[in-house]
């Protein structure tokens, strides 16, 4: 029951259309411009960094809060140990997965959501804080040196599982791969939808 609740809490948090609300506050409907993705990246492209940063924070915070809530609910279910033997960590993964699905198919925005990349990135801080912190530092460093936030963000997201191996057992890293597959599936669905349109 605790894990079902973690998934539900995660989904509802993920369904909050943070980037869409930021866009609307500046008179831009993100579902009508660019790649029509109501997420932080499209907000950055059409609003600029100064106005889009709340979208990044909002989309990321959904994952962090969902993972934290899932961890607490998992702890209530009991079970301890390393990796996925910890009920708290399992709950965190369930919460982050729920948030990612909610971001992609938000109940509060007619089920038209984004790709869940920033929600995953935020969730990483609940799944493995040290690895997420190192990934964030790498993102900032690469963004400054290469003058490309996009490159830094990609390195951080794809590097997170490798960094996680230094702190968590391999089963947790495999679960992270499962979350990343949700992002891949959402990208594929977006392409199919674009071709159909």
Domain boundaries, the chain: 2-196
pLDDT score of 181: 93
Segment 12-24, tens digit of pLDDT:
999 999 999 999 9
For 56-86, letters b (16+ CB in 10 Å) and e give: bbbbbbbbbbbbbbbbbbbbeeeeeeeebeb
**pLDDT 10s digits, 54-103:** 999 999 999 999 999 999 998 887 766 666 678 889 999 999 999 999 99
pLDDT, residue 79, reads: 63
How far from 19 is each of 47, 147, 151, 188, CA to CA, in Å?
Answer: 11, 23, 21, 21
* Residue 176 scores a pLDDT above 50: yes
pLDDT digit string, tens, across residues 92-136: 999 999 999 999 999 998 898 888 999 999 999 999 999 999 999
Burial (Cβ within 10 Å: 0-12, 13-18, ≥19) of residue 9: buried
Look-up of token digits 């607490």? 72
With beta carbons less than 8 A apart as the criterion, state whether 77 and 87 touch: yes
Confidence (pLDDT) at 197: 47
Is residue 167 within 8 Å of 130, Cβ to Cβ? yes
């Amino acid at each position: 029951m605790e894990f079902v609740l973690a998934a539900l809490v995660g989904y509802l948090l993920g369904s909050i259309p943070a980037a869409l609300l930021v866009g609307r506050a500046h008179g831009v409907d993100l579902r009508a411009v660019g790649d029509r993705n109501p997420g932080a990246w499209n907000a950055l492209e059409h609003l600029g960094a100064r106005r889009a940063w709340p979208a990044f924070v909002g989309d990321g915070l959904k994952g962090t809060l969902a993972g934290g809530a899932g961890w607490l609910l998992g702890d209530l279910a009991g079970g301890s140990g390393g990796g996925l033997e910890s009920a708290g960590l399992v709950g965190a993964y369930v919460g982050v997965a729920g948030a990612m699905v909610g971001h992609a198919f938000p109940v509060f925005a007619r089920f038209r959501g984004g790709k869940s990349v920033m929600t995953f990135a935020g969730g990483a801080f609940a799944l493995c804080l040290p690895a997420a912190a190192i990934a964030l530092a790498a993102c900032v460093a690469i963004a400054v040196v290469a003058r490309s936030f996009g490159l830094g963000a990609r390195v951080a997201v794809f590097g997170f599982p490798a960094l996680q191996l230094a702190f968590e057992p391999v089963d947790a890293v495999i679960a992270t791969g499962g979350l990343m597959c949700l992002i891949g599936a959402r990208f594929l669905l977006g392409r199919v939808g674009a071709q159909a349109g």
